[in-house]
Structure 1
Amino acid sequence: MRTAATCAALALALPGIQASAQQDSAETRELQPLEVFQRSEDLLFRVGYRLATANADFCPQTVRASGMLIHDAESYGDPVAVRRLFGLHGDIGVQAVAPASPAAAAGIERNNTILTINGQTIAQDWPKTDPRWQRVFGLRDAIDGALALGALDITWQTPGGTIRTATIEGVDACPTRFELIDSKSNAAADGERVLVGERFPGLAYEEAAFAAAIAHEMAHNILRHPQTFHEIGWKRKLVRLSERDADRLMPWLLQNAGYDPQAAIAFMRRWGPKHGGWIFRKRSHDGWDERVEFIEAELATIEAAKQSRTDGRADWSMFFKQELPRELPEK
C-alpha cells in the first residue's frame, strides 16, 4: 500500500503556487501514473489543510502544521525512476505545498528535495528503513515534534540545484492527517486520518464538492466516531446517527474554510443517485435524498451562528447539536 505521509498532516486550496519548468512541461504531454497520483495527493492535501486550519479555533485539540507533504523515493518500486521523474537530488521529496502556509512562505515548492531537518542530514542521519515506508513516517514525526516545540530549521534543494535554508513555525490545525491510498475507490476516517482511494470518484468533482466529501470524513474524526465504535462495537442505529452528524457538520467545516456550504448538498446530489446502491441505501445510513434534507436544515443554523462573529465563520463547537448521544451504552 502506498500512502501520502504528511509533515504536519494537512493543506490549503488558494491560488499562488509557482509552477516549475518541469511542471509546465508536464502540461504538454501525457502524465505518467505517478504524476497523476501526485496531483491527486496535492488536491487532497490542499483541501484537507484548508479545512483543518480554518476550523482549528473550534477543535478541542490542535497540532502545529507546516503545510508541506513529503514522500520517499525509496518507498516506491523503482527509486531511481522516481528521482528522475520528479527531478529529485535525494530520496525525500516535497510532494505538495499548501499556498499561504508556512512552508509556502519560506519558498518551499513541490519537487524540492529535503536535505536537512534541524541540522540532521537525510543522507547521514536518516538511513533507509525496512519496511521502506517507515523512514518517511519517522521524518514526519520529527518535523511535527519540532513544530510542536516552536520551530523547524530545514534545508532543501530545487530541481535546478539551488540550495536554500529557512526556519518555519507552524500554524494550528485540527489533528487529522489526509492520505491517498493506491488501488482503492472509497473514502473513510479512522479517528486520526482521512483515507481516500486514488480511484475515489470525488477526486474528479469540482473542488468544493470534493471538499464536502473530505469534510464529512473529517467530521467523523472531530466527533470521535471511530474511537466510539471501537469501544462499544458496531451498532446499526448508532452508526446511522453518526453518519447523520457527519453530514450535518460537513457544511459548518466548509463555511469556515471559505467554501460555499451548499457544496455539501451539491456533493450529495451528485454522488447519491449514481452510488445509491452503495452506502447511501444501507440500513446504517439515511437515503441520499434524506441526507440532503438534513444538510439543508443545518444551513439556517450556520447563518445564525455566523452572526456571533465578525470573520464570517460559524462556531460549531458552540452551536452544533449532535444527534449521537455523548453518553453511549457500554459494549
Structure 2
Amino acid sequence: MELELHKRIASWGQLGAELNQIVHQDPLPAEFEAFLSAVESKNGWFTEQQVLHALRAWAEELQVDSLKAWLAPYTINNLTPKTIAVIAAGNIPLVGLHDALSVLMSGHKLQIKLSSSDPLLLPYLFDRLIAIEPAWADFIEVRKDAVSDYDAVIATGSDNTARYFSHYFKDKPHIIRKNRNSVAVLSGDESEAELSGLANDIFRYYGLGCRSVSKLFVPEGFDFDKIFKAVYEWKHLLAHKKYENNYDYNKAVFLMSQFDFLENGFFMIKEDSSMASPIASVFYETYSNAAELAEKLSTQKEQIQCVVGNTNLQDTIAFGQSQQPGLSDYADGVDTLDFLLKL
C-alpha cells in the first residue's frame, strides 16, 4: 500500500503531539508509569528520568513544521519501496529512532533488529504510529532474530562489530557506524551557564552516548575547580547503583595504576590522550594555540561525533547542545536520508 508523503508527515506529527501530551502530565498516567518501569527493568541505565528526557526531546522534533523543514531540501518522489535493514544500537534510549524515521519518511520499508538493551521503546512508538495511520503496518517489521531479505543496511555498533558488519554486508549498499565520542574545547573564559551546559553534555544518559563529551581540550594552566563547581548539580547520579559501581571500579583502577587524577567524590578528571573515557570520568589534554588544536581535531575527526565549545573552530556546537540533536544532525556526518533516496 502506498502512503503519500503528506500522510507520513501528518502521522508522525500526530505521534509527536501525543507523546508531548503524555510525557508532560503530572503525575504521569499509571499505564505509562508501568511501561517506564518495564523499560528500566530491561536496562538499568534507562531510568525514568533519562527515558523521559529522550521522549520529550523527540516530542519536540516530531512536529509537522519541523518535519517539513527537515525534508524540504530533498526530492522525495513516489519510489518503489525497498526493504532497509536497520541494526539498532541500545546505548541510550531511542538511539535507533532517527534511522527508522529516515527509512519510513523516504518511502522505504523498515526491517529493524532491536538491541537487547532497548527492546521496548521503539515498538511502543511503532504501535502508537500504526494506531494513528494503519497503513504503516505494511512498512514496519520488528525483528528479534537476524535480518533477512533486505536491499540495504544501516548498522550501528562498536568498532569490533563494525568490522564484522562491513564484511557481512559488503555486497549490499550500507551505512556502517562504529565508536565515536564527543569532545569539548575550553578557553578558560566560559561562563557559569556555559559550564553548566557542558555538565549536561557530559552526564546526560550517564555519558553512554556518542554525543556525550568524554574528552576536554583545555589551555595550559586551566582551573579545573570551575568544572567541579559546574558538575556538582549532577552529584545525584551517585544514588544510581550502576553509576556508583562504575565510579568505584574506575576509581580503583586509576588508583591501582597509580594514575594522577582529580576527583570530587562522584566524578574524575584525568589527563589522557584517549578519546573514550570510562563512566564517571572525562579525559583531558592541554593545548597551547588554536591552530595546533584545529589540526589535531582534524586528524582525529573519524573518532569524533561532535565538538562542543564557544570557539571559532569549524562545526562547533554550543555548550549544552550535544544531547539535543536536530533532525538534520546525522550521526557521523553521513546524510542518511540522501543515502536512502538514492537507492
TM interval, short-chain normalised:
under 0.3
TM-score (norm 2): 0.26
TM-score (norm 1): 0.27
